[in-house]
Amino acid sequence: MFVAGFSEASGLEAETEIEEYREGGMNGFVHRLPKGIRYQNIVLKRGMTQSALLWSWYESTMNGSIERMNGAIVLLSPDGSEFGRWNFFDAYPVRWSGPQLNASTSDVAFETIEIAHNGLKGVFNG
């Protein structure tokens, strides 16, 4: 199901956390062991529309009712076909930003939503 188009997406990032372990009697050597994966929050930005879907999702978090959802960020090729996607899991909004309004300019009004999640999976064609 398509929910919204965005002009910018950031935070598609995962990092393996490392734990250092020093073994007794081995002073010149440190074991570096993988500890877990840390995911950055995803930040999505788009021009304002009449749809209040993103605001409503964030508003439920503000009211203490966290609605976790799975989703995907889909990258389209110039011909409009799907080039690849990043699926994310158990996501919920942690920040919403509205537009900077100035009546003396003709700038596009943007909204931004920041989403915490529990994992990414890249799926690429080819």
User: How many structural domains comprise the chain?
Assistant: 1
Positive or negative, the CA dihedral 46, 47, 49, 55 is positive
User: 108 lies in a domain?
Assistant: yes
Burial status of residue 42 (CB atoms within 10 A of its CB: 0-12, 13-18, 19 or more): buried
**Overall average pLDDT of the 54-73 stretch:** 91
Residue 69 domain-assigned (yes or no): yes
CATH number for the domain spanning 80: value is 2.30.110.20
pTM of the predicted protein model: 0.81
In a domain, 80, yes or no: yes
2 inside domain: no
Mean pLDDT of 57-85: 92
Instruction: Find where tokens 């989403």 sit.
Output: 115
Residue 1 counted as domain residue: no
Q: For residue 125, name the pLDDT band (cuts at 50, 70, 90).
A: confident
Helices then strands, counting H and E runs in the chain, come out as 1, 8
Q: Which tens digits make up the pLDDT trace of 75-102? A: 988 998 899 999 999 999 999 998 888 8
Written as six digits, the tokens of 92 are: 């919920």
Range(s) of the domain holding residue 72:
8-124
